[in-house]
Amino acid sequence: MTATTDGSTGALPPRAASASDTDTHTPVAAGVQDTAERALRRATAFLLARQDAEGWWKGDLETNVTMDAEDLLLRQFLGIRDEATTRAAALFIRGEQRADGTWATFYGGPPDLSATVEAYVALRLAGDDPSQPHMAKASAWIRERGGIAAARVFTRIWLALFGWWKWDDLPEMPPELIYFPTWMPLNIYDFGCWARQTIVPLTIVSAKRPVRPAPFPLDELHTDPGRPNPPTPLDPLGTWEGAFQRLDKVLHGYHKVALKRLRRAAMNRAARWIIERQENDGCWGGIQPPAVYSIIALHLLGYDLQHPVMRAGLESLDRFAVWREDGARMIEACQSPVWDTCLATIALADAGLPADHPQLVRAADWMLGEEIVRPGDWSVRRPQLPPGGWAFEFHNDNYPDIDDTAEVVLALRRVRHPDPERVERAIARGVRWNLGMQSKNGAWGAFDVDNTSAFPNKLPFCDFGEVIDPPSADVTAHVVEMLAVEGLAHDPRTRRGIAWLLAEQEPSGAWFGRWGVNYVYGTGSVVPALVAAGLPAAHPAIRRAVAWLETVQNDDGGWGEDLRSYPDPAEWGGKGTSTASQTAWALLALLAAGERDSKAVERGVAWLAQTQRADGGWDEPQFTGTGFPWDFSINYHLYRQVFPLTALGRYVHGEPAVLRTGAS
């Protein structure tokens, strides 16, 4: 990322910064309004200085060490692991190990068996001796929790590639799945796009069952090295899980007798499916896991490492690496420039930056250039729908998403662009596409329409997190807010979305957050959308949400929610250490609900001001983003900047800064 090239930091609302603005903290006694304005100016300058010269913003997308471990395992499998990369990855992995020898999947979370197994194996590849204290602690903990046998399927697939686990003791996924028509249960389009892109290449891997010579044994990770693959007990036959486990046994039998010609044809068709979805930058779907498995699958089918498809794929993986000042190398699971840029644009506009500010115009130009104007996998279910939307990443034309499209439209509406007709055409295409992606229940998922089959999650193979893409309150809320801004608040399709949101409110008054943690995110998304769509602040649903937010506000004035609210909402819902992003989400809901002068809002604004760094940013090691609820968590490094700026801007200036508010 670079600072602006024109040397300007922009107009800093509502007045120019002064020397006193460099104080580390602003006393609350100066008044909440003054406190907010000072914090707003600092935060505006901080974000403006971090825009890339091309117009985009992108913060690091931090997940967990399985990304780094699997990157090393891939390089070992392909025979391309080098000492420098290994040393840098090991430095990062060691730095994430906890005092008890384990690794977690999010900051402050409990130890995770699969992450610990994969991190341990990666450090073995890096040369760490099993007898070293940090390694001995890890292996002892792994054995206490059941050893490799108790790890998730995907961890054991990685180990099977080197003979550390038996392929016969893994669930089967036949490549013939590629032939299933879309009306048939368990066809590939029944899976969410992220799972679909992973499963198709893994069907080839499952069929090929490759084994590379293991560089060392892993006896220390088994509870009984003499019996490393204990049988898995079956669930009752009367359950879906039990039925699918028995189906898996049938598929294992089929693996032995599958017609060679049919299997070869299925793998070749799967390979074509994979290659057709490779992006211009060489990646698949803009996310690291499908890229890794696609490279392995194609390699097993005879694509050498110098083949253009393979070479581009391997080069794309290097772009997921974040090199730190200490020499450590962290792998991002994905990159979020479109998402970060539209959120940053909204934040800066709502903070009072002029709508024609050069940096906002540059951001709008970049977003307009990222519009997707060709069909992708979404068109399997919507073949007549014209394209028009935005994806999350730099390159991902196959999978635009509904959430990004809604937020990009909201961002473009805040910019006075020198070519307004170009903006209007892009917005019209985005609105049309989002409306066409409405599910039959009136709500919106993230990538696909009606991706709600109950079967994929039951498969023994699918224990790595959510594998379907049902509608969610947060995505639906963002679409409803966008439609309201576009003057479609009374459109029947918008009203169906509103009705769905009202029906989905929890008894507590909160809304579940699918893509952010959790009830604070869901509530912070839904309340502003409902108000934008015309619901009065006195509406019972709004008042219940306000009451819930007030009850979960922390004593320090902020809000926070731990990821454990996903498996245990009764204990953890709305509870956790205060964070900048989650405090901002709560404030966005309360401000939309007309609570600007409430004590809860004043305390929240004061908390943001008091915790702001001298440079205008905030610290936030906590993970407040969600990939799969509980199973895969994300720390979006820009969340801690854009959402507090948005909340402070709306506190100081009032209404969101859209240039055209639709007449309801």
Which residues are known catalytic residues? 403
Measure the CA–CA gap between 486 and 494, rounded to whole angstroms. 11
CB atoms within 10 A of CB 188: 21
Q: Which residues contact 58 (CB under 8 A, 6 or more apart)?
A: 1, 52, 335, 336, 337, 340, 341, 638
User: What is the torsional sign of CA 282, 636, 626, 430?
Assistant: negative
Name the residue type at position 449: V
Measure the CA–CA gap between 263 and 539, rounded to whole angstroms. 59
* Tokens 């790595």 found at: 464
- H runs (alpha helix) in 461-539: 473-485, 492-504, 519-532
Q: What count of Cα atoms within 13 Å lies in the side-chain half-sphere of residue 285?
A: 23
As to burial, measured by CB atoms within 10 angstroms (0-12 exposed, 13-18 middle, 19+ buried), residue 612 is buried
Cα torsion for 339, 193, 260, 296, to the nearest 10°? 20
CB atoms within 10 A of CB 160: 21
CA distances from residue 98 to 6, 94, 95, 107, 325 in whole angstroms, order as listed: 45, 9, 8, 10, 21
Token pair in block for residue 201: 């290449």
Measure the CA–CA gap between 274 and 271, rounded to whole angstroms. 5
User: What is the torsional sign of CA 360, 361, 364, 370?
Assistant: negative
* Tokens 């709502």 found at: 350
As to burial, measured by CB atoms within 10 angstroms (0-12 exposed, 13-18 middle, 19+ buried), residue 143 is middle
CB atoms within 10 A of CB 578: 22
* Residue (of 581, 414, 567) closest to 481 by Cα position: 414
CB atoms within 10 A of CB 422: 14
DSSP 636: E
* Helix H or strand E encompassing 402: helix 402-412
Measure the CA–CA gap between 67 and 78, rounded to whole angstroms. 17
SS3 category, 181: coil
Token pair in block for residue 126: 């890096």
* Residue (of 586, 601, 577) closest to 545 by Cα position: 586
Q: Which residues contact 265 (CB under 8 A, 6 or more apart)?
A: none
Token pair in block for residue 445: 């998922």
Length of the chain measured in residues: 664
Q: DSSP letters along 576-622, please?
A: SS--HHHHHHHHHHHHHTT-TTSHHHHHHHHHHHHH--TTS-----S
Name the residue type at position 645: L
345: left (phi over 0), alpha (psi -120 to 50) or beta: alpha
β-bridge mates for residue 628, sequence order: 632
* Residue (of 638, 647, 562) closest to 36 by Cα position: 647
Measure the CA–CA gap between 289 and 313, rounded to whole angstroms. 12
- H runs (alpha helix) in 282-419: 288-300, 308-318, 337-350, 358-369, 402-412
